[in-house]
Each structure stands twice: as structure tokens, then as C-alpha cells.
Structure 1
Amino acid sequence: MLRIIDARTGEPVDAAPARRGLTRVEAHASGFDATGLRVLLVADVLVRALELGGTPVWATLTGDREQAELRAGAATLGVRPFEDGRGLGAALDEAQVVHVAAGGDAVAPEGVRVTVASVDATVPAVPAADDDPAAWRLALLARGRTAPVRLDAAALDEARRTLARWRRAVADWARRPSRPVPDEARGRLRDAWEDDLDVPAVLRVLEWVGTHPDLADGARFETYAYADRLLGLDLTHDLGGTA
């Protein structure tokens, strides 16, 4: 069960109710900048985590400024579409509302609040057409959501190197016989993201899977593909390429 810290109380709560009613994830972004995109990215990962746990999710976006630009930038980073949440009431069978917002931004009084720290960006908030948007996504995911992020050339270079290394490995492992995701690896991944959506811990599990001597390459491949359902980094990008 995904548990997340409610910023209103400082206490962990279930992000989805036990009776499996609908959970609404409401992203609050005040405008088109790197911090607004990080809010949407965290909300996107939260939606993915809930769906992986079998919870029905309704994802909405509120805000009055630069909505078209924000949605376009989010789509570039692989964020799936959010419905326009302005003026909407509760949905049928809605059992939980989780608000995702930057620290200090006002949100509705009811529901769980998930706080996202600001981004200090010295590069454009979205990549140029000839660059890999997954590098931006990884750079923004690599630190916990409550920790400020500096999005600069060094952070992007590190993300590009990590992506290139993982994608090469995944493409190589895909040539080996397939094996199931090991129970230990699956458990570690779920323990990580179900503990306050700890994406950096998920990334550490992937590093462990990639180097553990007792895991078959086919199992490594399936584990990375499974984790990518949460991360959205297109880790199978290089499949079918030349050796």
C-alpha cells in the first residue's frame, strides 16, 4: 500500500483508501516553469504508482496561468495528460483526493497534500527538439520531491550518462533468455516507491539489480522494464540496435 507524507500533518497516510475507491490526484501548477513541470512530473509518477497497485485514478490539473505551455512542456517530458480540474466537483466513488503542489502554493482545504520543492534552473525547462527529454525527466526525479533541485548542464550531463549506460545494458540483456522479475527485486522496488514515493530509492534498486552477480541478464531486463512503468524513462529505447 502506497503511503505518503501529508504535508498538512507531517504524518504518513494511505494514498489510496483500503476499499479501493477512486483516488483523484490534483496537480496545482501556478505557471510554466521548471518548478511547475516538477509538480506535474511528481503527480505523474504518483498516478503511475497508484495504477501499478491497482487503484483507479482520476488525474486533474488546476491553475490559471500558461496552461497551454505547461501542458505542452509536460507532454515533452512524458507526463500523461491531466484533465482540466477547474470548477470540477467530486467524482462518483471518489474516496481520496491527493493535492500535489509546490511548497507555499495554496490548495483546497480537504484531502492529502503532497509538497514538491522548487527547481533552480539555469537551462531551459524543456529540452530542444534534438535532445533527449528523458534526461530532463531523470534529472528532476533523481532527488526526493521535498529536496530542492538545481537543473543545470552538469545535472543533465549526469542524467544523459546514466540513461545511456542503462539503455545499453537493457538492450544487451534483452538478447538473453527472458526470466521473471526476481521477488527480491520486485519487493525492493515496491517498498521504495510505496514509502512516500521515494524515487531516488527506486533508482538505487536499479543500480543494485544491474550489478548483482547472482541475477540472470533476462531477469535484469524484466526488472528494468517493470520499474520503467513507474519512471517513464524509455529504458528500452535502444532495443534492436546494433551491438
Structure 2
Amino acid sequence: MLRIADTRTGHLVEIPAAPRRLLRSCVHLPAIATGTGTGIGPVHLRVPLVGDVLARTAELNGLQVVTVLTTPELTPDQTTALDRVMAVLGIHPPVVVGAHHPDAALGGPADVHVVAQGADIGDATGGGRIEVGRVGTVLLEEGVPDPGHLLSPDRPDVLVPETADPLAVRLLLLHRPYATPVTVTGAALAEARRTLRQWRRQVADWAQEPSRPIPADLLRESHAALVDDLDVAAVLDLLADVAERSDVPSGAKFETFAHLDRVLGLDLVRDVGHQHIPERPAPR
């Protein structure tokens, strides 16, 4: 059972309505301002990201998912930029982009609409509604990479600098409830990068130990958080706690992180098999 807090009522609603096992999700890209560059800003990334987490959570719970992304009229450059930035943030591509009649693309009325907070989605009145909070950035202190470099798809030369990790943006946005506004700062991005490096290094180390099953309480707690209004922040806090627990075997830690990364999409197993092994001194 997957439940979301319908923004229009404030009540938890089950999606899709039982007993159907197909979730139809309609993600609405906010209107794009005209002016310099592509006009695609941070909130345009957070809305598809929440739609991605919704789809991943549904699939983890045995549902089939069809996702359609409705967009305003996009120029070719905007379309290319949007595709590129969704790819580097690990957002699974929707089955249709730019649909003006999403019901036809979905094969029926949407079960849920994912929209920017306060957005007008016209006559799309059926189904539950998830409103995604705004995203802002601030100017940074000297020597700290500008988060706009990672959030600006019209700057391909700095989209993936060697010293940064686009998935740090994903982690930073996921670490706040989806309805809560987020301000991206250099310090917050740096902390997200450190967390990803540490977790990937730990996961690679744990992978060398014998596999152990995920403890039942961890599995139950994490899945309960996800199905009750996509509480990804609680899952991230749980992983931070698991990483430090001495009573959870290394093999179980690996399985827990790998399993939950199916929803988080942070590529936590990326370094498995690539650990640095110190050279042994030559025998005398």
C-alpha cells in the first residue's frame, strides 16, 4: 500500500486505489521563464525528482508504474538541457515527455499529479496531488563551487566538474521533505558530497564481507517511511544510523544500503570492486 498526503485535502490517500497494481503518475514541469539561457531552474529539477522517487517506491512495492512528464512548449535547446540534467541526476526518463493529453499517454486518468507548489495544472482535477516545495540558491563564499553549476542545464561545461558530483544535488534535495522549501548552499553541497564519498567507501568495504540478510526491523521501518508519504529523509537518517551501528553485521549493512538505493538512486554501490589495496612490501 502506497499513501500520499493529497495537498488538496491534507489527508493520506492510497494510490493506486486497490486492487489495481498499475500506478499512473503525471509529473508537471513548471512554466519556464524566458530570458537568458534555457530558463530551466532548480525547481524544474526537483519536481521530476520527486516523481522519480514516487515511481521507484511504487516499483519497490511491486507496482507497475507509467510516468508522463507534461511540459510547456520547449525549444530544442531546452529539451536537450532538460534531458541532460535529468540523466545526470539519475531521474529515470518518463514514457512520454511533453504530453498535452496525459490521460491518453497514461492509458487512463492519472492516480497522482506531481506539481510545483502553487502551480496551475489546468483541468487535471482527478487523482491525488503532490506539491513540491521551492528551491533557492545563495551566493557562495570564495573557493566553494557554485551550486548553480550543478543546477544549470544550460552550462554543460560545468555541469559535471571533476571536483563535484551531480548526485550530491540529488542527495541534498532528498534530505528535505518534498513539500519543504530548500535553499542550496555551498556548505550544504559540500556536506552532501562528503556523505556520498563516505557511504560509497563504506559500502565497498562492507561488500567484501559475507552477505547477511537485512534485519527485519530495518526493512520494516524503511519501507513504512517510504510508503507513508515518501519520507525519504527518514530513510537517509536511518542509513546514517545503520552505518555507525556495531550490532549490524557488515554484510547486512551492505544489503541494506544496496536495497534502499533502489529508491534513493545515489549510486551507493559504485565503488564496489574498486577499493584501493595498499601495496605490500617486497619480501627480503
Q: TM-score range by the shorter chain?
A: over 0.9
Distance 1:17 1:91, change over 3 A: farther
**In structure 2, how many angstroms separate the alpha carbons of the residues matched to 1:163 and 1:128?**
15
Note the 1:78-117 alignment, pairs <5 A: 78-82=90-94, 83-84=96-97, 85-90=99-104, 94=108, 96-107=110-121, 108-117=124-133
- Give the equivalent residue in structure 1 for 2:177: 144
Q: Deviations over 1:186-227 (max 9, x none)?
A: 111101111110010000111121122211100000000001
- Per-residue CA deviations over 1:214-241 (Å, capped at 9, x if unaligned) read 1110000000000100000000111112
Name the CA distance, whole Å, in 1 between partners of 2:250 and 2:194. 21
Greater CA drift, 22-31 or 231-240: 22-31
Relative to the length of structure 1, the TM-score reads 0.94
Q: Mind listing any 5+ residue stretches in structure 1 that lack a counterpart?
A: none
RMSD across aligned positions (CA): 1.7
Q: Which stretch of structure 1 is more off in the superposition, 43-52 or 233-242?
A: 233-242
Question: Which amino acid is 1:188 matched to?
Answer: E
Q: Name the stretch that deviates more: 141-150 or 90-99.
A: 90-99
Q: Tell me the residue number matched to 1:72.
A: 84
> Aligned pair 1:128/2:160, yes or no?
yes
- Residues 34 and 119 of structure 1 are in contact (CA less than 8 Å); yes or no, is this contact kept in structure 2? yes
Q: Which amino acid aligns with 2:61?
A: G
Any conservation in 1 of the 2:29–2:115 contact (CA below 8 Å)? yes
Query: What is aligned with 1:35?
Result: 43
Deviates further, 95-104 or 171-180:
95-104
Whether the aligned pair in 2 keeps the contact of 1:20 and 1:56 (CA below 8 Å) is no
> Alignment partner of 1:60: what SS?
strand
**1:216 maps to which residue?**
249
Identify the residue that residue 242 of structure 1 maps to in structure 2.
276
Instruction: Measure, in 1, the Cα distance between the counterparts of 2:125 and 2:109.
Output: 16
> Is the 1:17–1:95 contact (alpha carbons within 8 Å) kept by the matching residues of 2?
no
Structure 2, unaligned runs of 5 or more: 33-39, 139-146, 153-158, 278-284
Q: Distance in 1 between matches of 2:224 and 2:21?
A: 22
CA 1:35–1:16: 2 relative to 1, 3 Å: same
C-alpha distance in structure 1 between counterparts of 2:192 and 2:101, whole Å: 38
Give 1:24 shift.
Answer: 1.2
| Equivalent residue for 1:55, pick from 63, 69, 81 | 63
Moved more, 3-12 or 80-89: 80-89
Deviation (angstroms), 1:20: 2.5
Tell me which residue corresponds to 2:36: none
Deviation at 1:71, TM superposition (A): 2.4
SS in 2 for 1:218: helix
Q: Which TM-score applies when normalising by structure 2?
A: 0.81
Identity across matched positions, percent: 44
Secondary structure of 2:111's partner? Answer: strand
Query: Which of these two proteins has the greater Rg computed from alpha carbons?
Result: 2
Q: What is the rounded CA distance, in whole Å, between the counterparts of 2:55 and 2:247 in structure 1?
A: 33
Distance 2:81 2:258 in 1: 30
CA deviation after TM superposition for structure 1 residue 95, in Å:
7.0
User: How far 1:151 moved relative to its partner?
Assistant: 1.2
More strand by share: 1
3-state SS of 1:150 partner: strand
